[in-house]
Amino acid sequence: MNKLKILVIFLTLITFKIHSQEMTCEDFKSGTFIIPISENMPLPYIITREDNKQIEILEDPNDILSPDFQKEQFVIIEWIDECNYISKYDESKMDMTEFHKLVNDNGGVLNKLIKIEDNCFYLKSSLTINGKTEYLDIVMCKK
């Protein structure tokens, strides 16, 4: 009886492993995502991505940002490989602030995959301006 119980548990675990899928970079090319509040992000972003385009919406329920802050931004994604990409603002779909122009004029933001854990994609984003590179660690989770 003990051997049968162990066999059933073993087969259940194997079946679970076969049917559970690990997320891959492909899972982050399209869909809806959230960048939750963190030390680096005081407000959450909702991102809707379709391959090489995304819309970023900054959630600001308490209206702490100034009225002229663009809470909706349109981004073009240039995939470098399966997991890494450059993001630039889409000037054809939004009014460009000086910051947006600065990002685009300096080649955009480079986003590199660090790891995938559960349904979250851990990125190191970087922007280089005048030879100086700034880094930001971001967690983006699939909804």
Burial of 20 (0-12, 13-18, 19+ CB in 10 A): exposed
Q: How confident is the model at residue 139 (pLDDT cuts 50, 70, 90)?
A: very high
Higher pLDDT, residue 61 or 83: 83
Q: Which structure tokens are listed for 113?
A: 């995959």
How many CA atoms lie less than 13 Å away from 117 in the CB half-sphere?
6
| pTM of the predicted protein model | 0.79
Residue-wise pLDDT tens digits, 22-62? 889 999 999 999 999 888 788 888 999 998 999 999 888 78
CA distances from 62 to 66, 69, 70, 71, 98 (A): 11, 14, 15, 13, 25
Closest CA to 128 of 89, 102, 100: 102
| H or E element, residue 73 | strand 72-79
What is the predicted pLDDT for the residue at 21? 59
